């Protein structure tokens, strides 16, 4: 079992290049199944979630070739419509294949993805959107059997919540439906716009991406093309937070600064000096971080829930009391007990966390509860006194490419170790 061992207290400095976006690559890879021919996807991060997605594509009949961070997906002779349960369980967001499979084969069989570490994560909005487009869904024994008696037909889809996944599924199916689809209260995340950019390059007619109303004129066929995935704004944010908690001076390159529009002001509120030059963001940390008044996670362009855990680490060593409200997922404070083990002072009540800043954190053995919680513990280890060991890092590998290598490039003391946990019970 691998873990990350961190010798804390070093001031980070230098620059790193941010990876391609996981949450953009996954829906775009699902879309490669829907389009006809060979798609070439550049800047695709090497992550276990991407590997799980490739397994699903191969299972559906696609041929895949990897060249470094570029992927070639040939879906010409792929007509599978079923995703086996084990692959669905491997990665919750496999549900975004539903719209692509229905768009291509007019039927689909998947198992309900079920919840994960951060919440129940129902898919009612996904199914609502599919039904609006004319899909019949038979839900039994944890399986969803979907079919289209007539045709996929454009419709007005009003989402009660701007769900990222439900918006992506609706866009995928509607892009090859007959007629016009209007999605109202659509998600506005940059990953949605990236998916639409890819599909429009394949011949789709989508307008309003990034807005809360998206209009899709269905087309008969989509032809494969080449596309580069955008930068991962959550990973870029995490590296900036690493610079902040270690009193560092770092630059993150290859970013889209506008996508961090809700994150950078919080770093400035904490006393960091932020400068932007084209796609490079530089952060100079203050001697002592200031508290964050009240941070509420919201759908884009609000503060991203995926950056909540790593920025909580910053608040644990800031001067004064910070308040964080997790608005999107019901159980996304699983990193708190681990931070308490490192000497943090945090009280939680439901979705509210009150963090009283302490002088220093202390190294300890901690367990990653989920992807972003794991990154928060690595940041805590970077600024802690002594050695921290973060285990269950399979969660971190789902979203951070070469995490420890990149951190070492900006002067961190962090190594990945393989250790036999035979006798020690994990929480």
Instruction: Give every CB contact of residue 26 below 8 A, 6+ residues apart in sequence.
Output: 49, 50, 53, 93, 96
Q: Which C-beta is closer to ligand EPZ: that of 103 or that of 165? A: 165
Contact pick of 65, 76, 122, 294 for ligand EPZ (by CB under 6 A): 122
| Burial class of residue 125 (count of CB atoms within 10 Å of its CB; 0-12, 13-18, 19+) | buried
The answer to whether residues 421 and 391 touch, using CB atoms and an 8 Å cutoff, is: yes
Does position 55 interact with ligand EPZ (CB under 6 A)? The reply is: no
Contact pick of 52, 399, 404, 414 for ligand EPZ (by CB under 6 A): 399
C-alpha–C-alpha distance, residues 301 and 233, integer Å? 12
The answer to whether residues 171 and 196 touch, using CB atoms and an 8 Å cutoff, is: yes
Q: Which C-beta is closer to ligand EPZ: that of 200 or that of 331? A: 331
Contact pick of 37, 119, 286, 337 for ligand EPZ (by CB under 6 A): 119
- Quick count: other Cβ atoms within 10 Å of Cβ 166? 28
DSSP 3-state of 172 = helix
Q: How far is the CB of 14 from ligand EPZ (least distance, A)?
A: 26
Contact pick of 1, 65, 124, 138 for ligand EPZ (by CB under 6 A): 124
Q: How far is the CB of 71 from ligand EPZ (least distance, A)?
A: 17
Does position 334 interact with ligand EPZ (CB under 6 A)? The reply is: no
Select from 274, 270, 268, 267 the least CA-distant residue to 252.
274
Task: Extract the tokens encoding 271.
Answer: 């006393």
Does position 238 interact with ligand EPZ (CB under 6 A)? The reply is: no
| Burial class of residue 156 (count of CB atoms within 10 Å of its CB; 0-12, 13-18, 19+) | exposed
Contact pick of 5, 108, 312, 328 for ligand EPZ (by CB under 6 A): 328
C-alpha–C-alpha distance, residues 384 and 7, integer Å? 8
337-374 exposure pattern, b = at least 16 Cβ within 10 A, e = fewer: ebbebbbbebeeeebebebebeeebbbbbbbbbbbbbb
Q: How far is the CB of 62 from ligand EPZ (least distance, A)?
A: 19
Q: Which C-beta is closer to ligand EPZ: that of 188 or that of 291? A: 188
Residues 250-289 that bind ligand EPZ (CB under 6 A): none
Does position 115 interact with ligand EPZ (CB under 6 A)? The reply is: no
Contact pick of 55, 126, 132, 188 for ligand EPZ (by CB under 6 A): 126
Q: How far is the CB of 137 from ligand EPZ (least distance, A)?
A: 13
Which spans in 281-387 are helix H?
308-316, 336-341, 371-383
Q: Which C-beta is closer to ligand EPZ: that of 305 or that of 388? A: 305
Does position 305 interact with ligand EPZ (CB under 6 A)? The reply is: yes
- 62 among known catalytic residues: no
C-alpha–C-alpha distance, residues 5 and 7, integer Å? 7
Does position 121 interact with ligand EPZ (CB under 6 A)? The reply is: yes
- The stretch near ligand EPZ (CB under 6 A) out of 114-122, 217-225, 255-263, 347-355 is 114-122
132-151 footprint of ligand EPZ as x/- string (CB under 6 A): --------------------
Does position 183 interact with ligand EPZ (CB under 6 A)? The reply is: no
**Could you give the C-alpha distances from 242 to 236, 278, 327, in angstroms and in order?**
10, 21, 24
Q: Which C-beta is closer to ligand EPZ: that of 5 or that of 256? A: 256
C-alpha–C-alpha distance, residues 172 and 165, integer Å? 11
Which residue number places its CB atom closest to ligand EPZ? 165
- Quick count: other Cβ atoms within 10 Å of Cβ 124? 11
Catalytic residue among 44, 62, 116, 272: 116
Q: How far is the CB of 1 from ligand EPZ (least distance, A)?
A: 22
Q: State the number of binding residues for ligand EPZ (CB under 6 A).
A: 25
Contact pick of 329, 333, 400, 403 for ligand EPZ (by CB under 6 A): 329
Among all residues, which ones are annotated catalytic? 116
Residues binding ligand EPZ (CB under 6 A): 22-23, 26, 93, 119, 121-126, 161, 163-166, 187, 191, 305-306, 328-329, 371-372, 399
């Amino acid at each position: 079992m691998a873990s990350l061992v961190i010798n804390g207290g070093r001031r980070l400095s230098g620059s790193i290049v941010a990876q391609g976006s996981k949450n953009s690559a996954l829906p775009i890879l699902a879309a490669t199944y829907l389009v006809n021919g060979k798609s070439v996807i550049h800047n695709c991060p090497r992550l276990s979630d991407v590997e799980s997605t490739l397994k699903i594509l191969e299972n559906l009949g696609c041929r895949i070739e990897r060249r470094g961070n570029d992927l070639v997906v040939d879906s010409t002779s792929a007509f599978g419509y079923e995703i086996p349960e084990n692959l669905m369980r491997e990665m919750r967001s496999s549900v975004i294949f539903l719209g692509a499979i229905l768009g291509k084969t007019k039927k689909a069989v998947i198992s309900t993805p079920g919840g994960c570490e951060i919440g129940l994560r129902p898919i009612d909005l996904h199914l609502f959107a599919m039904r609006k487009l004319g899909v019949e869904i038979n839900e039994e024994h944890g399986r969803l059997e979907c079919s289209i008696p007539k045709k996929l037909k454009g419709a007005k889809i009003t989402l009660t919540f701007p769900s990222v996944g439900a918006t992506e599924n609706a866009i995928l199916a509607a892009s090859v439906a007959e007629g016009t689809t209007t999605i109202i209260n659509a998600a506005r995340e940059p990953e949605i716009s990236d998916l639409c950019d890819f599909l429009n390059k394949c011949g789709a007619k989508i307008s309003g991406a990034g807005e809360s109303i998206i209009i899709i004129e269905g087309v008969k066929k989509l032809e494969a093309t080449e596309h580069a995935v955008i930068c991962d704004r959550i990973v870029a944010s995490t590296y900036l937070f690493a610079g902040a908690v270690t009193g560092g001076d770092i630059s993150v390159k290859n970013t889209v600064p506008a996508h961090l529009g809700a994150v950078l002001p919080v770093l400035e509120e904490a006393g960091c000096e932020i400068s932007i030059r084209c796609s490079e963001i530089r952060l100079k940390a203050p001697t002592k971080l200031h508290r964050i008044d009240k941070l509420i996670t919201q759908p884009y362009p609000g503060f991203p829930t995926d950056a909540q855990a790593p920025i909580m680490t910053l608040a644990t060593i800031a001067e004064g009391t910070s308040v964080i409200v997790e608005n999107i997922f019901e159980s996304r404070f699983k990193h708190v007990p681990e931070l308490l083990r490192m000497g943090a002072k945090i009280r939680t009540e439901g979705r509210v966390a009150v963090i009283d800043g302490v002088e220093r954190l202390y190294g300890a053995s901690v367990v990653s509860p989920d992807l972003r919680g794991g990154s928060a513990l690595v940041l805590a280890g970077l600024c802690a006194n002594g050695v921290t060991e973060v285990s269950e890092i399979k969660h971190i590998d789902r979203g951070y490419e070469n995490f420890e290598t990149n951190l070492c490039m900006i002067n961190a003391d962090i190594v990945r170790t393989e250790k036999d946990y035979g006798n020690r019970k994990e929480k």
